[in-house]
Structure 1
Amino acid sequence: MKVIGLLGGMSWESSAEYYRIINQTVRERLGGLHSAECLMWSFDFARIEALQHAGQWEAATAELVAAARRLERGGADFLLICTNTMHRMADEVQAAVSLPLLHIADPTAEKIKAAGFRTVGLLGTAFTMEQAFYRGRLEDRHGLAVLVPDDAQRAEVHRVIYEELVQGKVVDRSRAAYRAVIAALVARGAEAIILGCTEIMLLVGPEDSAVPLFDTTAIHAEAAVDKALEA
């Protein structure tokens, strides 16, 4: 079994889900008392969030690079960044270590394509929905057509993530707002929806959408187990 290196704490709410899904999946596949061999560096998210919203991406990159190097020294065999937004610096993190980085968008796109979908709606932080680092990878590398909510809806999706979900708050009116955003994307032609923030799965599930939801948290965690157990 390979050792999984997890860059977590962004937020710890979703990192706890990574840890749970990874270990449950290992137990399901290997049986008995088996669990994953993994290391996690868990950030103080308040510091990371402040850098994000101040646009200090170079400083945020330095934080991730330093943590990735700690995991490498600790014996990890490959790395995961346990958040969609911080894949903005995935290339820099990969260049800083000799370990492979399992990019969250790649297994997500592969599952979407395997299910026969090509046009998807994307929910996430404003950074993920608006910047090219994530949408561009889905479009250019995987050939998907990516739709995002309109300006007002993007603002509300982003607000709910930072004011509620990363703080462990699940609010019914926010679930209703997300349902409306999903319905609007479906009306524009989305065949499926990417839950492109690792906390969104805390708020919405299959019952909230007329089309399939692709939960990046679960997909990324299960892909990590695939890699950890490969020959």
Structure 2
Amino acid sequence: MKMIGMIGGMSWESSAEYYRLINRDVRGRLGPTASARCLLWSFDFSEIERLQNAGDWNALTAMMIDAARRLEAGGAELLIICTNTMHLMADAVQAAVSVPLLHIADVAADRLHAAGIEKAGLLGTAFTMEKDFYRDRLAARHGLSVVVPGAEDRAVAHRIIYDELVAGVVTEASRDAYRAIIARLVDAGAEAIILGCTEIMLLVQPEDSPVPLFDTTTLHATAAVEMVIG
């Protein structure tokens, strides 16, 4: 089994889910006493959030590259960034190390294609929904059509992630808000919904959507295990 290097702490709530899912999958594949060989670099998310809000993506890129290099030096043979938003600098991180970086959007696209989905709704932070790094990768590299919520819905989705989910707060009111946003994406033609923030799976379940949900946290963790076990 190869060593997974996890760049996490963004937030630790979802990083904990990654750790649980990866180890659960390894145990299921290799036996009851098996667990993953992994290293975790965990950021202080308050510092990450401050730089995000300031738009200092250069500083954030330098931090992510530093984390990736430290994990590689520690023996990591595969890297994963345990958050969708920070894949904004995934290409820069990959260019700075010699071990492969498993891109979360590529994993999601592979599963969407396997399910015969051509048009998907994207939920995530405002950065993920509004910047082109994620949508363009799905479209240009994978030929998928992506629809995002309207401005008001994007603001609601973002607020719930940063004010509640990263702090482990899950409320029925926020679940209802996401259900309504999902319904509007379906009305706009979405055949499936990409949960493009690794915390959303803490709030939204399959029964909350009339179309299939593609939880990037679980898909990313599963794909990482497949790569390190072979």
Q: Sort the TM-score into its range (normalised by shorter chain).
A: over 0.9
Deviation at 1:107, TM superposition (A): 1.1
Deviation at 1:36, TM superposition (A): 0.4
Residue 2 of structure 1 corresponds to 2
What is the CA–CA distance in structure 2 between the aligned matches of 1:171 and 1:59, rounded to whole Å?
34
Amino acid at match of 2:92: E
> CA deviation digits over 1:38-63, x for unaligned, max 9?
00000000000100010000000111
Residue 200 of structure 1 corresponds to 200
Helix, strand or coil for the counterpart of 1:53? helix
What is the CA–CA distance in structure 1 between the aligned matches of 2:49 and 2:2, rounded to whole Å?
31
The alignment's TM-score, normalised by the length of structure 2, stands at 0.99
What is the CA–CA distance in structure 2 between the aligned matches of 1:100 and 1:32, rounded to whole Å?
28
What is the CA–CA distance in structure 2 between the aligned matches of 1:203 and 1:211, rounded to whole Å?
16
What is the CA–CA distance in structure 1 between the aligned matches of 2:144 and 2:48, rounded to whole Å?
30
Gaps of at least 5 residues in structure 2 are none
What is the CA–CA distance in structure 1 between the aligned matches of 2:15 and 2:191, rounded to whole Å?
28
Amino acid at match of 1:125: T
What is the CA–CA distance in structure 2 between the aligned matches of 1:73 and 1:60, rounded to whole Å?
20
What is the CA–CA distance in structure 2 between the aligned matches of 1:137 and 1:202, rounded to whole Å?
25
1:30 aligns with 2:30: yes
Residue 114 of structure 2 corresponds to 114
Amino acid at match of 2:206: P
Deviation at 1:86, TM superposition (A): 0.1
Helix, strand or coil for the counterpart of 1:117? coil
What is the CA–CA distance in structure 1 between the aligned matches of 2:32 and 2:6, rounded to whole Å?
24
Amino acid at match of 1:107: V
Deviation at 1:30, TM superposition (A): 0.7
Gaps of at least 5 residues in structure 1 are none
What is the CA–CA distance in structure 2 between the aligned matches of 1:226 and 1:119, rounded to whole Å?
26
Amino acid at match of 1:164: E
Residue 44 of structure 2 corresponds to 44
> CA deviation digits over 1:75-103, x for unaligned, max 9?
00010000000000001100111111000
Deviation at 1:32, TM superposition (A): 2.6
What is the CA–CA distance in structure 2 between the aligned matches of 1:139 and 1:86, rounded to whole Å?
19
Residue 157 of structure 2 corresponds to 157
What is the CA–CA distance in structure 1 between the aligned matches of 2:24 and 2:72, rounded to whole Å?
24
Helix, strand or coil for the counterpart of 1:105? helix
Residue 127 of structure 1 corresponds to 127
Q: Which runs of 4 or more aligned residues in structure 1 lie more than 2 Å from their structure 2 counterparts after TM superposition?
A: none
Deviation at 1:136, TM superposition (A): 0.4
Amino acid at match of 2:139: E
1:70 aligns with 2:70: yes
Alignment length (residue pairs): 230
Deviation at 1:171, TM superposition (A): 1.2
Residue 61 of structure 2 corresponds to 61
Residue 177 of structure 2 corresponds to 177
Amino acid at match of 1:205: Q
What is the CA–CA distance in structure 2 between the aligned matches of 1:205 and 1:227, rounded to whole Å?
27
> CA deviation digits over 1:100-133, x for unaligned, max 9?
1000001111001100110000000000001110
Helix, strand or coil for the counterpart of 1:100? coil
> CA deviation digits over 1:191-224, x for unaligned, max 9?
0000000000000000100000000000000000
Identity of aligned residues (%): 67
Helix, strand or coil for the counterpart of 1:116? coil
